[in-house]
C-alpha cells in the first residue's frame, strides 16, 4: 500500500476507520476506504489498490491509542480535583490510571501536563466512556483550538517515536 497523506495537514499519520453508512460500504467494494488523520482529526476517503495492510486493521476506534505517561488533573462535576496519570492518549481521548473511577457518562474537565510544556492542555469537556477497576476511558468532547494544536504536538511526538522504535509498541 502506498503511503497516504492527509489532504488537510499533509501528514502520513492516517488510519483506516470503520465505514459509516451504506454509501461508504458500497465504496469499499471499489477500494475507496474512509481514513482519519491522527493529528488534525480530518476524516476523508481514499482509493487503495489491492487489499488493506493487515497492520491497518479496521476497528471502531477513530484514533490510535498511544502509550504515554503524563500527569493530569481532573475536575469532576462535583468540583472535586484529583491528580492521576494518563497511560494512553490520542486526539479523541485517553486512558487514565486511577483507583477512584467515576461512573460512565460522567462529565469532567482535564488539565493534561505534557513534559515539554509548562502550561497544561485543557480539555474543557470530557466524558467517561468506560470505567474499569484501575482505569477510566475518557472521550474528549470540547477543547479550544490552541489546546487541540498543543495536543496534536504531543500525539505527533508519540507517533514519531513509535515509528522510529516499532518494536517498543508491539
Q: Is the pLDDT of residue 57 over 70?
A: no
DSSP states along 58-81: --S-SS--EEEEEEEEEEETTS-E
Identify the pLDDT of residue 164.
66
Let me know: does 64 contact 44? Beta carbons within 8 Å: no
Q: Is the pLDDT of residue 51 over 80?
A: no
Instruction: Round to whole Å and give the CA distance between 57 and 150.
Output: 28
Q: Is the pLDDT of residue 113 over 90?
A: yes
Percent of the residues in the chain that have a pLDDT greater than 90, as a whole number:
65
20 or 78: whose pLDDT is higher? 20
Q: Domains of the chain: which residue ranges?
A: 1-62, 66-164
Identify the pLDDT of residue 144.
97
Instruction: Round to whole Å and give the CA distance between 144 and 10.
Output: 22
* Confidence band of 50 (pLDDT split at 50, 70, 90): low
For the chain, the average pLDDT equals: 87
CATH classification code of 66-164: 2.40.10.220
E-assigned strand segments in 99-164: 107-113, 121-131, 135-142
Identify the pLDDT of residue 170.
41
Q: Is the pLDDT of residue 66 over 50?
A: yes
Instruction: Round to whole Å and give the CA distance between 154 and 71.
Output: 13
Amino acid at each position: 500500500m502506498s503511503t497516504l497523506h492527509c489532504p488537510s495537514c499533509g501528514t502520513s499519520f492516517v488510519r483506516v476507520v470503520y465505514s459509516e453508512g451504506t454509501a461508504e460500504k458500497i465504496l469499499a467494494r471499489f477500494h475507496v476506504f474512509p481514513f482519519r488523520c491522527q493529528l488534525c482529526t480530518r476524516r476523508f476517503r481514499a482509493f487503495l489498490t489491492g487489499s488493506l495492510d493487515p497492520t491497518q486493521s479496521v476497528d471502531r476506534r477513530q484514533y490510535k491509542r498511544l502509550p504515554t505517561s503524563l500527569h493530569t488533573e481532573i475536575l469532576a462535576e462535583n468540583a472535586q480535583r484529583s491528580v492521576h496519570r494518563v497511560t494512553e492518549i490520542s486526539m479523541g481521548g485517553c486512558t487514565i490510571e486511577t483507583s477512584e473511577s467515576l461512573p460512565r457518562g460522567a462529565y469532567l474537565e482535564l488539565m493534561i501536563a505534557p513534559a515539554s510544556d509548562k502550561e497544561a492542555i485543557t480539555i474543557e469537556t470530557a466524558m467517561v466512556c468506560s470505567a474499569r477497576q484501575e482505569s477510566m476511558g475518557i472521550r474528549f468532547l470540547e477543547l479550544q483550538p490552541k489546546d487541540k494544536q498543543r495536543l496534536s504536538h504531543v500525539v505527533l511526538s508519540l507517533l514519531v517515536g513509535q515509528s522510529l522504535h516499532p518494536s517498543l509498541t508491539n
